[in-house]
Amino acid sequence: MRRDAHGVPTVEAGSLEELAHAQGRVTAHDRAWQLESERWRAEGVLAAHVGPSGLAWDVLARRVRLQDTARRCYAALEAPVRRFVAAYAEGVAAGLPGGAARSPELRALGLDGAHVGTGLDGEGDPGWQPWTPLAVLLSHHLLFGSVGTKLWREHVVSGMGPDLGPDLAAALAVGPPDGSNALAVAGSRTASGLPLVAGDPHRLLERPGVYQQVHLVCAAEGVDVVGLAFPGVPGVPHFGHAGSVAWAVTNAMADYQDLLVERLRVDGSGEDGGGRLLARGPERWEPVERRTEVVAVAGADPVRVDVVETARGPLLVLDRRRPDAPALELPDGEEVEGLALRAPSRVLADAGAAALPALLRARTADDVERAWGAWVEPVNSVLVADTSGAVRRLVAGRVPRRAERARWRPVPADDPAWAWTGWEEHPALRVAGDGAGGSPEADAGVVVTANDERPDVAHLGTAFAPPHRARRLRALVGDRTGLAVDDLAATLVDTAHGSAPTLLALLRRVARAAPTAGPARDLLERALAWDGRADPGSTGAAAAAAWRGALVRRVVALPLLAPLHRQPAVPAALLPWLSPVERVGAALPRLLDVLPAHGVDVGALAVAALEDAAATPAGDPSATWGRLHRLRTVHGLDGTPWHDAALRPGEGSPLPGDTDCVVATASVPGLSPDGLGDTGLRGPVARYVWDLADRGASRWVVPLGADGLQGAPHAADQLPLWLAGRLAPVPPTRPDDAVDDGPPAAPRGDRMTTDSTATSEAAPALDARLPEGPRPLPDGRSLDVRRLDPEADAATVHAWVVEPRARYWGMTDRTVEQVRDVYAYVDSLSTHHAYLLRLDDRPVALLQTYDAQADPLGEVDGVEPGDLGIHLLLAPTEDPERGFTALLAAALAPLAVENTGVRRVVVEPDARNEAAAERLRRTGFEIGPVVDVAGKTARLAFLPRAVLEALVGAGAPGR
């Protein structure tokens, strides 16, 4: 494995299964905390580690049966895909001890490298299982569909009663803000003559980021893909460039989940007196599956939770009268209503995993289209382009056919009218290439998806993003030709505010009624002078936003909308989806149009909001949008005793954009009474531009960095680029400018197999350990060979590896803590070992031994099983001892000979070090070729066992 200048790993392997294993292992090193916390969420055991803050999610995960669905999906996979998924899980399990050793979060929870995956009490946690990646994938997307919006609509309609007009209902039915963008332009519009694809997924801004930049290579399978992966899931599912084809994804906003109102009762006629729980189906009362699970909570008593599933699906809510009751208490003869979730992944026992290896193998737009044909949920809009010039727009995922009302609100489970009758078809739109033509996109050579309502998705969903972003992207491209990567990158950071015309029009209408002088008039004048761009330095944007927030608070407080504030009948984990302030803020432009019909004087509200805003800090004349709209990232330990406020890179940085901008750094207007609550919690979690003419010209960025270890060099080194709207190069196809991660790069050896159907395993690893203890030297001194202690010896080793002479070790820019983490990782491995050599109790050298087959060196032609790799770094000294290297070799050579598994010793000095090569030649090494090893140019040298034994017998292993 090698890494580029931003720490992005290039992972190489000899087969697709080995690639998945290696990707899992690298991810475990870089994202151990993230992987474990995502696994806990998928298994519903988060509270056992983080305490009561994780309980609401655990109850939800248990109720919807995430883990059981993942098991079913895994069991239904075809054998090659099952092996691919299992290999990734095996790689994660193999790499987690080392990754955990460098994770402050896991150490804070008592889960260091020795205990990760075993549970807080050392028992009961099976760790990563073959199906765990599917559970993580399902967990990520559980609430990505329409569940929250349907519950919100039910809350609105049931609370506001029959007087709610259809216009007001439609205005309030808006979904939460979505901000993802993607666009592709045909070669007829580009400078190169081949297509460009660009995009930026928008999600919650998390630490570490939700996406992981990777470069995956498997020459035997023709795989060479740069893309963004989900930590915990193999492959590159959403955004990738395979050289000859590239793809981008946005949420299609389709409705593919149903909520069904289940009538439940207990049949008390059972022989045990306990009775059976029944649900009313379309034809009769049916027995349901019911079980009780115990949810552990760190620092609190465990909670017993009933898990119930009917023929329609698992129950999100057991009793709508008591939505957070952990158990269903139902006397004989009494009926209650619950809410069941019906989702394609559980109905089909399919999480869409077959698409994951298929996308890695894709070479053409046809291949990508076929791969996405296996996808299930969430339903995505996909843009694809290839080097033939083809550009296509696809819809990927399963959307059930059923009656229209089921798309809008919960429906009765006992009515057969809501049954699923099949699946919607998704014909592809060909924008360029064979068969293109006959559509506005084909004529223009530009296709855009921005969660907007388009002809290909309008019949699939009910809540789409406003059309602002899609229109703006098309306008920015316009009729331009000669487009290049920088041009598309610039479109993704455009700050023109889509709601500005509506807001400013209202302000102009009420200007005469506003105060003629004073702070409110000053605020009004600044807002009216606003150019409509949400730039951090804009005082006009700040004034308009301060007024908008005050207006949202006025609207939310209307007696007409008072029913929205009652306690929703939903589980605690879903309450954020039913926030009246957030929903009204998202619906504000629509509400301003319909409220007058319900007797609301919108003009008076607008004027009162000017007075409100002028009295807040946000109304200060010097306030800028960047003062109000600042970066905030979230972490899984926020709000727990293990929260570390110091680890918030870039916290409070001014943000460009807003919810209705292309750069949709979403704010929640009205949330804070002081007007300073326009925090950017959601935004672009990646940006990328894929160039089909030259992948090396492609660019990307993430909000923080490639490494999940907070404080590490690559944990937040991309943040300045992201804030400035700039992009970084993707890893090179050839490692011309790549640098090693520091010895060793993530090894491939010591692989475990958990799938009995696996057809191949790695060769047994060489035991590369050396005997420890004192060794006499010919001159009477004693050399002590001792395992390096990562904690105790970090400062000593750090002082050696940061010297310019040690640049070949790749750690000249590391801190003491980072050196400690590197060797904690080494110490966790069975194939790599580090020793500190002491001469008469004085540390004199760092020695590393490793199985060359389990190292990037093993990828090089000529390296064979039984090759023992050696790295030796001498301590700096002002008075070098002549012949000291040969003296050490004389003491260490017998240790290698004692290891009967060693066939040869292999070393890889810098190819430029001719003196080292000459010394090795005189010693008896066979000088091999110059090769690239993990981004370094090295000259291989081999010492056969027979020569080593002869030298040891002669007592002269070096001269």
Condensed to tens digits (0 to 9), the pLDDT of residues 514-529 reads 988 999 999 999 999 9
Mean pLDDT of 587-611: 93
**Residue 660: predicted pLDDT:** 92
Given a cut of 60, whether residue 558 has pLDDT beyond it is yes
**Domain 496-565+580-634+649-684 indexed as CATH 1.10.287.110:** no
**Residue 758: predicted pLDDT:** 28
Mean pLDDT of all residues belonging to the chain? 87
- Residues across the chain: 959
**Structure token digits, residue 416:** 């057969």
**Residue 759: predicted pLDDT:** 29
Q: How confident is the model at residue 124 (pLDDT cuts 50, 70, 90)?
A: low
Residue with the bigger pLDDT between 736 and 676: it is 676
Q: How confident is the model at residue 859 (pLDDT cuts 50, 70, 90)?
A: low
Among the residue ranges 562-576, 650-664, 899-913, the one predicted with the least confidence is: 899-913
Q: What are the Cα distances from residue 539, in Å, to 207, 530, 560?
A: 30, 8, 33
DSSP 8-state assignment for residue 317: E
Which residues are within 8 A (CB) of 539 and not within 5 positions of it... i.e. 6 or more apart? Answer: 526, 621, 622, 623, 624, 625
Among the residue ranges 197-201, 434-438, 769-773, 852-856, the one predicted with the least confidence is: 852-856
**Residue 641: predicted pLDDT:** 81
Among the residue ranges 79-83, 214-218, 335-339, 811-815, the one predicted with the least confidence is: 811-815
Q: How confident is the model at residue 325 (pLDDT cuts 50, 70, 90)?
A: confident
Nearest Cα neighbor of 433 from 444, 424, 441, 442 is 442
Please state, in angstroms and rounded to a whole number, the distance separating the CA atoms of residues 556 and 554: 6
Q: How confident is the model at residue 755 (pLDDT cuts 50, 70, 90)?
A: very low
**Residue 111: predicted pLDDT:** 85
**Residue 743: predicted pLDDT:** 37
Mean pLDDT of 392-408: 94
Residue with the bigger pLDDT between 296 and 829: it is 296
**Residue 942: predicted pLDDT:** 87
Given a cut of 60, whether residue 271 has pLDDT beyond it is no
Among the residue ranges 345-359, 693-707, 728-742, 931-945, the one predicted with the least confidence is: 728-742
**Residue 169: predicted pLDDT:** 83
Q: How confident is the model at residue 812 (pLDDT cuts 50, 70, 90)?
A: confident
Given a cut of 50, whether residue 751 has pLDDT beyond it is no
Sign, CA torsion 403/409/413/414: negative
Top-level CATH class of 258-342? mainly beta
Please state, in angstroms and rounded to a whole number, the distance separating the CA atoms of residues 378 and 863: 45
**Residue 274: predicted pLDDT:** 58
Q: How confident is the model at residue 883 (pLDDT cuts 50, 70, 90)?
A: confident
Sign, CA torsion 880/882/883/884: negative
**Structure token digits, residue 84:** 């691919």
Quick check: 469 and 450 in contact, CB under 8 A?
yes
Q: What are the domain boundaries of the chain?
A: 258-342, 496-565+580-634+649-684, 773-954
**Residue 397: predicted pLDDT:** 97
Which residues are within 8 A (CB) of 882 and not within 5 positions of it... i.e. 6 or more apart? Answer: none
In 129-256, beta strands by DSSP E: 181-185, 196-200, 202-204, 212-218, 223-229, 239-241, 245-251
Please state, in angstroms and rounded to a whole number, the distance separating the CA atoms of residues 633 and 649: 9
Quick check: 901 and 768 in contact, CB under 8 A?
no
Please state, in angstroms and rounded to a whole number, the distance separating the CA atoms of residues 586 and 582: 6
Please state, in angstroms and rounded to a whole number, the distance separating the CA atoms of residues 393 and 185: 11
Given a cut of 50, whether residue 720 has pLDDT beyond it is yes
**Angle, helix 16-30 to helix 32-43, in steps of 10 degrees:** 100
Among the residue ranges 35-39, 140-144, 241-245, 804-808, the one predicted with the least confidence is: 804-808
Q: Ranked by mean pLDDT, which of 212-226, 273-287, 873-887 comes out on top?
A: 212-226
Task: Calculate what percentage of the chain has a pLDDT beyond 70.
Answer: 91
Given a cut of 70, whether residue 121 has pLDDT beyond it is no
Mean pLDDT of 20-46: 96
Given a cut of 50, whether residue 954 has pLDDT beyond it is yes
Among the residue ranges 284-293, 501-510, 631-640, the one predicted with the least confidence is: 631-640
Please state, in angstroms and rounded to a whole number, the distance separating the CA atoms of residues 951 and 924: 9
Given a cut of 80, whether residue 346 has pLDDT beyond it is yes
Given a cut of 80, whether residue 48 has pLDDT beyond it is yes
Neighbouring CB atoms inside 10 A of 589's CB total 18
Mean pLDDT of 553-569: 92
**Structure token digits, residue 34:** 């993230």
**Strand pairing of 336-342 and 380-386?**
unpaired
Given a cut of 80, whether residue 854 has pLDDT beyond it is no
Q: How confident is the model at residue 826 (pLDDT cuts 50, 70, 90)?
A: confident
Domain 773-954 CATH superfamily: Gcn5-related N-acetyltransferase (GNAT) (3.40.630.30)
DSSP H helices in 161-301: 166-172
